[in-house]
Amino acid sequence: MNTERLFYAIILAIVVVGGISVGAAYYGSTTSQPASTTPVSTSLTLVIVPSGWYSNSTIHHDQPAFLVLEPNGTLVSSAYIHLPAHQLITLKIIDYDSYGLTPVIGINGTANQSEYAKFTGTVGNMGYVYNSTNVNVTLPPSSTGNVSIPGGLQVSSFPWQGNSSGGYDVAHTFTILSGSNIVVNAPSPGMSVVTTQFYLNNTGTYVWQCFVPCGYELDGWGGAMATSGWMTGTIDVS
């Protein structure tokens, strides 16, 4: 599918969700801390676009990008995301990128670090995958066989598939970091919708990063991977 047709397909999807305006602004949530102990859920919806035009002094190439889908249907930059502390956050990742095995996952072009193929820091260290029939998953330890969740499949990780030349069924990750420590990791297979929930109980500034090297140059860690609002950004928790 060429870039123009993909663009209109994404816009059509956004219309269905509830709006057609596309802009560049910050995502914010200002829900206050509840007085009771009952968790209050807030949501963060991310859309992964596979073919955004990236151009700088050395790179002129289509690159993937995370965008934030606001409740009014507006797509905005993911460079800065504001989330509340001490509240249950529902994360949805709508991944339009193609599926396929990822032979390298981790911090450099030679790393195969399976922690980035797992749900970490989420409720039960689990997530749900929807709309993808081409996914191999590892089910939670308490599960047996294929667990059918209405509209989705409950999973804990995406294991290595095939021989030494195989890979993980992971197209991207949304990983929240405190320094070098993983706070939340949500892997996403291509052409799917992933949902999960988590808490951020410490206020402050975090970094989010995709850990599938899907950029251009530098063993896949150049271009979008190193550019705020594409495959990395900042999260403010307050």
- 55-69, 85-99, 224-238, range with the lowest pLDDT: 55-69
Give the start-to-end residue ranges of the domains of the chain: 3-34+43-237
Is residue 106 within 8 A of residue 116, CB to CB? The reply is yes
Band of the pLDDT at 85, cuts 50, 70, 90?
Answer: very high
**Bigger pLDDT: 213 or 218?**
213
**Bigger pLDDT: 101 or 185?**
185
- pLDDT tens per residue, range 185-212: 999 988 889 999 999 999 999 999 999 9
Partners of 172 in the β-ladder: 188
- 48-52, 55-59, 162-166, range with the lowest pLDDT: 55-59
Instruction: Please state the separation of Cα 122 from the chain's center in Å.
Output: 13
Question: Does the pLDDT value for residue 213 go beyond 50?
Answer: yes
Question: Does the pLDDT value for residue 165 go beyond 80?
Answer: no
| pLDDT at site 35 | 38
Question: Does the pLDDT value for residue 132 go beyond 50?
Answer: yes
| pLDDT at site 26 | 27
Q: Which of 1-5, 24-28, 30-34, 119-123 has the highest mean pLDDT?
A: 119-123
pTM flag (> 0.75)? yes
CA 161, CA 191: separation in Å to the nearest integer? Answer: 18
- 1-15, 87-101, 117-131, 192-206, range with the lowest pLDDT: 1-15
Beta-carbon contacts of residue 111 (< 8 Å; ≥ 6 apart): 104, 105
| pLDDT at site 1 | 42
| pLDDT at site 185 | 97
Q: What is the mean pLDDT of the chain?
A: 76
Query: In the chain, pLDDT over 90 holds for what percent of residues?
Result: 39
Query: In the chain, pLDDT over 70 holds for what percent of residues?
Result: 65
Q: Which DSSP string do the residues of 166-200 spell out, in sequence order?
A: -EES-SEEEEEEETTEEEEEEEE-SSEEEEEEE--
